[in-house]
Chains A and B, each alone.
Chain A
Amino acid sequence: MTDYGHDLLFGTFLTPSAQGARQVIDLAVASDRAGLDLVTFQDHPYQPAFLDTWTLLTYVAARTERVHLSGNVLSLPLRPPAVLARAAASLDLLSGGRVDLGLGAGAFWDGVAAMGGRRLTPAQGVDALREAIVIMRDLWDTQTRGGVRHDGTYYQVVGAKRGPAPAHDIPIWVGAYKKRMLALTGEVGDGWLPTLEYLPDGVDTLPALNAQIDEAATSAGRSPRDVRRLLNVMNVRFSATGRGVLDGPVDQWVEQLASLALEHGESAFLIGGDDLPTIERFAAEVAPAVREAVARERQ
């Protein structure tokens, strides 16, 4: 039972379908107009039916005004950290500080290898991610003098020039499910970004995993509050009778999200489904009511 006290964010988790590229843009623009906080896209470069997520994020950022953009989550094995850091900082500058960075250690190693990427074990993937986060933050840090040097097991950077500095502090949100990744999230992450449907017992899994992150954060001398807890919910719909998490009438959505915020410390909710009416109702009816309910309880 923890509430880390973060302001609440509401957003969408869209499929970067190449065939339906126009609809993808429409949904992203609609999310922005509806007043949502975040538009996010999964990143599977080896999936031929999908658009390149970084290109899509950039294009969508240019066609929207207020909403923040993030990969959900970007596939580190196919996006070298230095490339990613400069691209993210560039887009953050161009978009006026609207880039956040969901990042994962990689899954589907066959796909990664097919694209020419390096095949790592899950444990190696975690270590590579840890190195990558250090490199990216170093490249963004233009206050420190001298070039960036990193002689790691997975990444070598030799005296690279720093910058550009992003327009705002880009948070790094980690897609994590297993022990080592959760520890990394607590130690160096700015956020935890799992998908509800991938948690073994759904919402009931949250307390144990949150506790692992809290513990890792505390051991690393940080506060558990330094790690925002975000949550993707892929299968959502508004229906007359409640059947499950985010599958029911508006009131039930509000109740469920408020309880996720107050009891589990979740402070960002990203919905899948790629459905315009659902997105619009989420923004217009659910988000304000959840904010109000949570603010009331927090007082």
Chain B
Amino acid sequence: MELALGVVLDASADAARTTELARQADAGGLDLVVLRGGPDTGLDPWTAAVWVAGVTDRIAIGTTGFAPPPAHETPYPSVVEKARESADLLTGRRLVDGEPWTTAPADADRAALETLAADGRTVVVPVSDAADVARLVALVGPAAGRRRTAAARALRRDGIDYDGVPASLAATAVEPGDPEYLAASSTYLRGGAPGLVLRPETPEQVADALEFARAHTHVPLGVRSGGHGISGRSTNDGGVVIDVGRMNRIEVLDASRRLVRIGPGATWKQVAAALDPYGWALGSGDYGGVGVGGLATAGGIGLLGRAHGLTIDRLRAVELVLADGTLVRASADEHPDLFWAVRGAGANFGVATAFEAEVYDVGEVGWAKLGLVSTDLEKSLLRFGEVATAAPRDTTVFLVTGRPQRGQSMIQLYAIVDSSDPQVVVERLQPFLDLGVLVQQEAFMARYKDIMGQAPDIGPEGHNGQGEPVSRSAFLPAITPRAAHDTAELLRSGRVYFYQLRTMGGAIADVPADETAFAHRTPAFQATAMGVDQADLDARWDRLAEHFDGLYLSFDTDRRPGRLHDAFPPGVLARLRDLKRRYDPDALFRDNFPIDPRTTL
């Protein structure tokens, strides 16, 4: 039977030992640490509990036996409540309320513990040294699946066959009642409450996860790599999430060809750091915290884009698991049709498990962040359009702005100049300085890994997004005076808090449009606008349609059917639909710009 075991630690013992024993119980797979106060315990129970949560990673923490504080030592209830919320956020809800456990005698054997555990409650045993903890760790044995208390099982969601989770995934799966759930439920920009998060570590386990997903088409399915998806709904409410974050290996296959193999769960920060010692890089987007899988199946319009093309342009093979669980390798020679489709519409066809890419030499580059204040946004946008497209292809500059304040717009420019010569860098940046009044300037020579490295690591606390992002995307063939005017108008409405222009052209446009399912090779810019209300943003964005030619699916949350036609030109969409019929006829992959295999529209 499942045995949920914990330890009781005397909180008046010396602090270093309490810390050590709690860590041992955590690493050994026990479920709960109970800190016991006594008449002589001066320790503040809240501080002690949060401390133990901080020195452990997954175990739950409770307190017992602390004397209630006298009146003059009672904290304000509102502060207590706030402390509780903060602790939930920081520890992944690992602090336990009340005393939902049964305490066993210190010498209880396995049979006695099983009897006590019959009602499903966690059984805790007083311990005083490492040997005591080790005995309990040995009793629960190596976890085949994870042991869950009745309280944890009560948080399960309807419609999910929790007992049917494939054996290969049971040990690492996360349910709503698990300590890591808070960290596994949200993504970077989105709050979520999935019913089950499966965390495969091999392609075979991905196939197992998809088998489970095929039996759960009545609930949503999300696929997550780094959790930065905007259109990619890598969390959901009550559904299944397949999180490939653990498949994050990065290895060099052939140094002479600069051929590397990258797992979908790596972040671009990790990729940049791994390639740097070789003097190589692979351009991604503009933020190192983004995961490989989502970006490398969509496009990858990044700060090395004009110099070296889209991320997908460097892919030489993609390995993925199809909807029916088949493991396939797609390249120019193997399943070339799938290789074409995965580079731009990958989310419709499978779960990528590895990417092989031919990367390129990148030495020191110029990196700049410029802040400019503009009193004439329209003029500044127009001017940006001119200089960003006229710049040599070693220079890629992105523009970000938000709501104008008191008639002034703060324009942020982010730039990489792929040159190790500071003179060239200065020369390239010069034309951008007159977009407004320069108020902030940071420019230095840097390694690409340091630029990507500015993103923080995703720690055990996971992401903390809330709500739903509201975002629209479009490709702009050019920034015409009318486009600049209408864009400035949109920003002056105050309903868009984030607006970005990613400059394209250069090497991106060198690739023929039919080479990849990402077919928008000729636009000068990709524009993203983020707002707070989808219907409002849609209405405003639609009014700008005359300036647009398609959209980049990664950055668009509009779910009206017309968007699919913006993402894929007619010929591309027809071809993708044919392939969808072949590779995912039942539309298992349906949460990110889904192509309906049944229609012909």
Contacts and interface: CB of A to CB of B under 8 A. Distances in A.
Interface of A: 18-23, 25-27, 45, 51-52, 54-56, 58-63, 78-80, 82-83, 86-87, 89-91, 93-96, 115-117, 155-158, 160-161, 163-164, 237, 239-240, 276-277
Interface residues of B, number: 46
A49 to B, nearest CB: 12
B78 A51 contact: no
25 contacts: A18-B85, A18-B89, A22-B462, A26-B457, A51-B89, A51-B90, A52-B83, A54-B47, A56-B86, A59-B54, A60-B54, A79-B79, A80-B75, A82-B73, A83-B44, A87-B44, A94-B19, A94-B48, A115-B76, A116-B76, A161-B42, A164-B42, A239-B442, A276-B454, A276-B456
Best-buried of B18, B44, B78, B459 by chain A (most CB within 10 Å):
B44
B433 to A, nearest CB: 14
A83 B86 contact: no
B72 A155 contact: yes
Contact of B454 (A52, A156, A277): A277
B43 A93 contact: yes
Given A94-B47, A96-B16, A115 B73 contact: no
A22 B73 CA distance: 31
Given A94-B19, A155-B72, A115 B79 contact: yes
Contacts of A160: 70, 72-73
Given A21-B90, A89-B42, A164-B42, A157 B47 contact: no
Contacts of A96: 15-16
Contacts of A89: 42, 44
Contact of B78 (A115, A156, A277): A115
Question: Taking chain A's interface residues, is the majority helix, strand, or loop, or is none over half, making it mixed?
Answer: helix
Given A94-B47, A160-B73, A78 B79 contact: yes
A80 B73 contact: yes
Contacts of B51: 58-59, 61-62, 91, 94-95
Contact of A83 (B53, B75, B442, B463): B75
Contact of A87 (B46, B456, B463): B46
A27 B456 CA distance: 9
B458 interface: yes
B464 A19 contact: yes
Nearest to B463: A22
A26 B87 contact: no
B69 interface: yes
Instruction: Give the residue among B48, B85, B89 with the most A Cβ atoms within 10 A.
Output: B89
B256 interface: no
B155 interface: no
Q: Which 6 A-B pairs have the closest CB atoms?
A: A62-B54, A164-B42, A52-B86, A52-B83, A51-B86, A58-B50
Contacts of B50: 55, 58-59, 62
A27 B454 CA distance: 11
Contacts of B516: none
Contact of A45 (B42, B78, B454): B78
B441 interface: yes
A176 to B, nearest CB: 23
B82 interface: yes
Nearest to A150: B72
B55 interface: yes
Interface string B80-121: 001101110111000000000000000000000000000000
Given A54-B83, A78-B76, A22 B458 contact: yes
Contacts of A18: 85-86, 89
A156 B76 contact: no
B48 A90 contact: yes
A207 to B, nearest CB: 32
B78 A116 contact: yes
Interface string B53-72: 11100000000000001101
B132 to A, nearest CB: 21
A86 B456 CA distance: 34
Contacts of B566: none
A58 B54 contact: yes
A276 B78 CA distance: 32
Contacts of B76: 78, 80, 115-117
